[in-house]
Amino acid sequence: MSRPHLNRYARVLHFADRQNGFVTSADLKLLGVPASTASRWNSEGLLHRHHHGIYRTTNGLFDFSDAVHLANLIGTENHAIGGVSALRLWNMPGGSKGRVQLYGPNGLRCRSAHVESHQLRDLRPGDVVRNGRIRVTTPLRSVIDASPYLDDKVIGQQVSWAEKERMFTADDLALRLAQLARRGKRGVRRVLSVLADRDPERFGRPLNSYEKVAKRLFTEAGFPPPIAQHPISYQGRLYFVDFAWPNFGIVVECDSMLAHSTAEQFQCDLRRQNDLMAAGWTILRFTYWDIVRHPAHASSVLARHLPTRSERSAVSGARWVGVDDCS
């Protein structure tokens, strides 16, 4: 190698040291290295291609930190390290040093043995932070995205750890879950179930006998299976409704005199209903008498807004959305 090439290669090595040994085609161009030279160096073992337009100056041990830097270079400004990989970066329970999970609004063609790409269209700016050069999802968002890969015990440990470290609270988590729930986000029902087990009064509760009768009525009438205790947020306020069909924007509330007997309860109930309507939901309200004594009437009211099983079979390609789709 001539001295000019040696000097140029030395500059590349110095630059790559700041990026865990990685350089991109754009970096090489700025350093005055033509694409033909980069290709030759790759064939000679001076550079090692790990992805389209991404090289590494060494070919030795490849650890988790190296994989994180590679994923960060593969992704765009709209992508971030997420899921169990982000949990590992935050030192949270459930973190993994396996293939780095890269999340973004569109799928990337990633053939690296060290990085896997996941499409995530509901990632918003507030879900991503920077740790130096690395883009990573926040601890709160990481818990949600990683939940399909973890058991309930680990999710509970994550919430306890986050509250202890003052990274987020269970209320923060429930509010973000409510924002994602209507989109059918995987893991939402799972994490909400963990929160409900920790504190049933704040994060949902089991169905009472009246609500169980209502759910059975909806099922026997042939409507899509509803989601019980579905979370809905509006302007920072979080509500758990008795039953919801997110794909149809329908909420059913099972009212009792006991729960609405005081002026304060009545006022709170009106504000709750107005917030739910402002959030875009259609609210249907039934009493105990509607469900138990006049089930045909309750079914006919619901049929104005939801298709029955027979109507579904008549429509090719129709798809129900229920508990299984949003878990």
pLDDT in tens, 204-256: 666 678 888 998 999 899 999 888 888 888 887 888 888 999 889 999 998 87
| pLDDT attached to residue 1 | 63
Question: Under CATH, to which class is 3-56 assigned?
Answer: mainly alpha
Across residues 69-79, what is the average pLDDT? 90
Q: Is the pLDDT of residue 325 over 50?
A: no
Residue 138: pLDDT band (50, 70, 90) is very high
Residue 309: pLDDT band (50, 70, 90) is confident
Burial class (CB in 10 A: 0-12, 13-18, 19+), 294: middle
DSSP-derived letter for residue 241 is E
Across residues 318-323, what is the average pLDDT? 40
Q: Which of 7-11, 278-282, 293-297 has the weakest average pLDDT?
A: 7-11
| pLDDT attached to residue 61 | 81
Residues in Cβ contact with 193 at an 8 Å cutoff, skipping those fewer than 6 apart = 152
Could you tell me the fold of the domain covering 207-326?
Answer: Endonuclease; Chain A (3.40.960)
| pLDDT attached to residue 137 | 96
Burial class (CB in 10 A: 0-12, 13-18, 19+), 47: buried
Average pLDDT, rounded, for the chain: 85
CA–CA dist 254, 240 (Å, integer): 12
**Residues of each domain in the chain carrying CATH 1.10.10:** 3-56
Going by C-alpha positions, the residue among 191, 239, 223 that lies closest to residue 295 is: 223
Q: Is the pLDDT of residue 317 over 70?
A: no
| pLDDT attached to residue 19 | 84
Residue 316: pLDDT band (50, 70, 90) is very low
DSSP state letters, 70-102:
HHHHHS-TT-EE-HHHHHHHTT-TT---SSEEE
Of 280 and 19, the one with more pLDDT: 280
Of 31 and 319, the one with more pLDDT: 31
| pLDDT attached to residue 58 | 83
| pLDDT attached to residue 315 | 46
**Residues of each domain in the chain carrying CATH 3.40.960.10:** 207-326
Residue 326: pLDDT band (50, 70, 90) is very low
| pLDDT attached to residue 169 | 92
Of 19 and 136, the one with more pLDDT: 136
User: Beta 250-255 vs 282-287: how paired, if at all?
Assistant: parallel
| pLDDT attached to residue 322 | 40
Given a contact cutoff of 8 angstroms between Cβ atoms, the answer to whether 193 and 152 are in contact is yes
| pLDDT attached to residue 302 | 94
Note the pTM of the prediction, 2 decimals.
0.65
